[in-house]
């Protein structure tokens, strides 16, 4: 079976300008064999770009999970013979694949309280952010993935901690996929075995009738068979939860660059502790730059802000009269540093908030947001903001970035949910922090400090215990859905009740009185008491002292508003809550409509170890509007570098967009006509479009009177390129031709250009694309 992340060995730069929302929400780029790891749900529903990958069919899940295992596990393998595509280098395979085996601990402690239990086991972060670890990371992350998909899952510790594995229950049985050591085994019908079978048939585990190719490439199976023969702990669920996705938005004047190699070897947060082989870092960096034009008449300001109060956009900046402007900063990777530069007149103050605007702290330096994924920045007081710039650098897993392989590539840009995201990790180090968001509780009341990520925990509560949190979005916005996890700790493990009612509900709503159940956590009902009793060590099975992550993804709110409420409700045995992390998905728009706009996409790959090539495409806002948020483009590189073909991928929404230009773009849900017209003028779309070397622009004047008519070609930033028509015309139909040159006769670069028809009283404009 062909892996979806087949080795990518081309050499090309692709420059693609395509239309999008003015604020580009949740863009994602996929190569034609990339696994879609934007979110857990997208993983199961949007792999059409990889034709070989099986569909997620609930009636028969084995083909999907076999393919998933074989797609993600190869980077971990330690047998160099597996890596002919990487020049027999497992080091390069580890960097370019989805994960690699390493005994390091990846931790995130954004509250900076030095906790012992800050490991990250979110499957989407695992693939996209850090991509390394040992068996505990594989076992727990896969367990969270299964549960996020609505499936019952469990973990086993083998041979007193020598190995950690997980299996998942579907289609009437348990199924074991070992992402860490790379293997699954199946019967003669191809149905994969679970750990109940594998642990009781360990001595013949290498003789199962059907098996994964990758498992049997290990030179020595004796260790695996020995581990399987000695199950010692059983965990029903996962400690530390999931809920993240790769959501981010780009505003006018913003771009994100993602690099396969580190920009700088120091650009990684202190708790990451990344794996390194032969002085080759198997991690990369992301850099997001935001530099809006703050001038009256430009769309950048209104497109970019989160909320404002007593603020006025003027010719040379933003006037504040005892007012404030707030921007949201979000990157889908953990922040190493974020540098904010503000130029101003007056005594304005710059503050940051990491809890959705509940509390604010003075901006003090680049590393203040370290280990976080987003924050709010507010400038307030009386004065004028004359300039604003943010540069944010994060670390990432290069193996999950879109890759280009040798030969023909069909690359896709997709726009997902029309919302934006902010993270909330509540600070529970004291009751004040706990009650900042928890507005109602029964049973789950604050107990005191703890050694886990939030720094605190609740008392235990049984059937009917709950805690309700209130989230506040932007002043003129809507909170549309919530993702995240609560971490429940069972306080009575040896008498765990394996019944369907022994679980939790997640409820969301736009008010406390409108809460409805949106997720019921899969109950642990298919592990027998005999199996539990066979896996008892130190009085531990079921939940023991470990947590049970209660994961949920984009639970939608009916009739959304600025406020949203989420409740964790216990339907079963006694438990306490030890962690909580939420993702607030909100929508805000300061324009009268959702306008499409132009963006630039750039892939850079290596032709040789010192050279790179270029290939350009351009598309317009109208084209993206017509494509319903999915555009494809093809490249066919002529040369490759075998070990490290990829360099970077960039998405940019250019700044300096005139509001009058933006308002002529198509809007979400509205088709753009082939021409724009007024009572006296009509301006057609140029033909052909895109074009090279020439294109024709047709226009019409209504009425018989003579009038001055001018047709100009300008850059996307309004700079004059060439005047095609200047003089008096009577009513009628006309056309002019542009040959892609400027007023000096020199050829201009590929890209998007604006052409305008003006009479002194009226102006109409359209966009066109020149490709070289």
pLDDT tens digit sequence for 165-205: 999 999 999 999 998 877 899 999 999 999 999 999 999 99
* Domains of the chain from N-terminus onward: 1-34+402-416+594-669 (no CATH), 40-102+120-235 (no CATH), 420-587 (2.60.120.260), 673-770 (2.60.40.4070)
C-alpha–C-alpha distance, residues 683 and 710, integer Å: 12
C-alpha–C-alpha distance, residues 475 and 326, integer Å: 11
- Considering only residues 113 and 20, tell me which one the structure prediction assigns the higher pLDDT: 113
Three-state DSSP class for residue 269: coil
pLDDT digits (tens, 9 = 90+) for 465-523: 999 999 999 999 999 999 999 999 875 566 778 899 999 999 999 999 999 999 999 99
Query: What percentage of the chain carries pLDDT values higher than 70?
Result: 88
Least confident residue range of 346-350, 462-466, 635-639, 760-764 = 760-764
pLDDT at 720 over 60: yes
C-alpha–C-alpha distance, residues 123 and 304, integer Å: 30
Ramachandran class of 317: left when φ > 0, alpha when ψ lies in -120 to 50, beta otherwise = left
Return the sign of the alpha-carbon dihedral for residues 70, 73, 74, 80.
Answer: negative
Distances 53 to 98, 171, 191 between C-alpha atoms, Å:
16, 20, 18
Selection from 18-27, 530-539, 715-724, 737-746 with the highest mean pLDDT: 737-746
pLDDT digits (tens, 9 = 90+) for 251-287: 999 999 999 999 999 999 998 888 777 777 888 999 9
Three-state DSSP class for residue 136: helix
* CA-based nearest residue to 12, from 411, 415, 414: 411
> ω before 690 within 30° of 0 (cis)?
yes
Contact status, residue 348 vs residue 385, Cβ threshold 8 Å? yes
**Matching residue, tokens 């929302």:** 21
Phi, psi of 545 (to 5 degrees): -90, 0
Kindly give, in sequence order, each residue whose CB lies less than 8 Å from that of residue 745, ignoring residues fewer than 6 positions away.
none
pLDDT, residue 59, reads 94
* Burial degree of 402 (CB within 10 A; 0-12, 13-18, 19+): buried
pLDDT, residue 728, reads 85
| Centroid of chain to Cα 273 | 22
pLDDT at 664 over 50: yes
């Amino acid at each position: 079976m062909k892996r979806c992340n087949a080795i990518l060995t081309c050499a090309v730069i692709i420059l693609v300008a395509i239309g999008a929302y003015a604020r580009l929400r949740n863009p994602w780029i996929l190569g034609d064999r990339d696994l879609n790891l934007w979110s857990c749900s997208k993983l199961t529903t949007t792999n059409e770009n990889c034709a070989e990958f099986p569909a997620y069919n609930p009636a028969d899940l084995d083909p999907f999970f076999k393919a998933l295992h074989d797609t993600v596990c190869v980077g971990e393998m330690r047998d160099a013979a597996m890596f002919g595509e990487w020049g027999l280098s497992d080091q390069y395979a580890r960097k370019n694949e989805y994960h690699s085996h390493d005994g390091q601990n990846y931790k995130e402690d954004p509250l900076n309280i030095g906790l012992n239990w800050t490991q990250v086991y979110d499957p989407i972060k695992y693939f996209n952010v850090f991509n390394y670890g040992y068996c505990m990371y594989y076992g727990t992350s896969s367990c969270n993935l299964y549960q996020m998909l609505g499936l019952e899952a469990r973990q086993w510790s083998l041979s007193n901690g020598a190995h950690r594995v997980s299996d998942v229950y579907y289609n009437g049985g348990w199924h074991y996929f070992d992402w860490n050591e790379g293997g699954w085994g199946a019967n003669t019908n191809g149905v994969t075995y679970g750990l109940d079978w594998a642990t009781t048939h360990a001595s013949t585990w290498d003789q199962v009738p059907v098996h994964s190719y990758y498992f049997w490439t290990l030179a020595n199976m004796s260790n695996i068979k020995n581990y399987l023969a000695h199950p010692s702990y059983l965990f029903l669920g996962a400690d530390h939860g999931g809920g993240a996705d790769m959501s981010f938005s780009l505003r006018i004047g913003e771009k994100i660059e993602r690099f396969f190699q580190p920009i700088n070897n120091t650009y990684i947060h202190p708790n990451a502790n990344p794996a390194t082989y032969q002085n080759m870092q198997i991690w990369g960096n992301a850099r997001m730059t935001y530099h809006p034009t703050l001038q009256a008449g430009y769309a950048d300001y209104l497109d970019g802000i989160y909320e404002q109060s007593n603020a006025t956009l003027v010719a040379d900046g933003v006037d504040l009269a005892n007012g404030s402007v707030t921007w949201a900063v979000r990157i889908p990777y953990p922040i190493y540093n974020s540098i904010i530069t503000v130029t101003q007149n007056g005594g304005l103050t710059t503050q940051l908030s990491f809890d959705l605007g509940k509390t604010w702290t003075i901006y003090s330096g680049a590393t203040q947001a370290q280990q976080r994924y987003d924050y709010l920045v507010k400038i307030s007081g009386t004065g004028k903001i004359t300039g604003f710039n943010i540069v944010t650098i994060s670390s990432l897993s290069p193996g999950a970035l879109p890759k280009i392989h040798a030969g023909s590539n069909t690359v896709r840009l997709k726009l997902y949910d029309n919302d934006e995201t902010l993270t909330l990790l509540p600070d529970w180090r004291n009751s004040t922090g706990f009650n900042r968001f928890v507005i109602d509780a029964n049973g789950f009341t604050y107990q005191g400090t703890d050694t886990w990520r939030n720094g605190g925990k609740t008392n235990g509560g049984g059937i009917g215990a709950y805690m309700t949190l209130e989230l506040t979005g932007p002043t003129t916005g809507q909170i549309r859905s919530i993702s995240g996890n609560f971490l429940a700790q069972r306080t009575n493990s040896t008498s765990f009740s394996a019944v369907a009612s022994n679980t939790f509900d997640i409820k969301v709503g736009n008010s406390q009185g409108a809460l409805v159940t949106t997720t019921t956590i899969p109950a642990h009902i298919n592990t027998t008491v005999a199996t539990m009793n066979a896996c008892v060590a130190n009085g531990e099975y079921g939940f023991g002292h470990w947590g049970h992550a209660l994961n949920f993804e984009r639970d939608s709110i009916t009739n959304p508003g600025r406020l949203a409420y989420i409740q964790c409700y216990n339907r079963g045995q006694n438990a306490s809550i030890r962690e909580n992390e939420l993702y607030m998905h909100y929508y805000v728009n300061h324009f009268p409509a959702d306008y499409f706009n132009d963006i630039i996409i750039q892939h850079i790959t290596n032709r040789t170890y010192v050279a790179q090539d270029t290939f350009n495409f351009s598309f317009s806002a109208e084209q993206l509007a017509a494509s319903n948020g999915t555009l494809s483009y093809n490249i066919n590189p002529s040369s490759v570098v075998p070990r490290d073909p990829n360099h970077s991928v960039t998405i940019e929404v250019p700044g300096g967009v005139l509001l009058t230009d933006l308002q002529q773009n198509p809007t979400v849900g509205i088709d753009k006509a082939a021409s724009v017209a007024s009572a006296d003028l009509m301006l057609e779309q140029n033909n052909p479009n895109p074009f090279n070397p020439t294109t024709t622009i047709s226009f019409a004047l209504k009425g018989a009177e003579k009038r001055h008519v001018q047709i100009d070609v300008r850059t996307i930033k309004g700079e004059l390129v060439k005047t095609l028509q200047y003089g008096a015309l009577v009513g009628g139909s006309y056309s002019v031709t542009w040959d892609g040159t400027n007023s000096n006769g020199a050829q201009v670069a590929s890209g998007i250009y604006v052409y305008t028809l003006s009479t002194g009283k009226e102006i109409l404009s359209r966009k066109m694309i020149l490709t070289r």
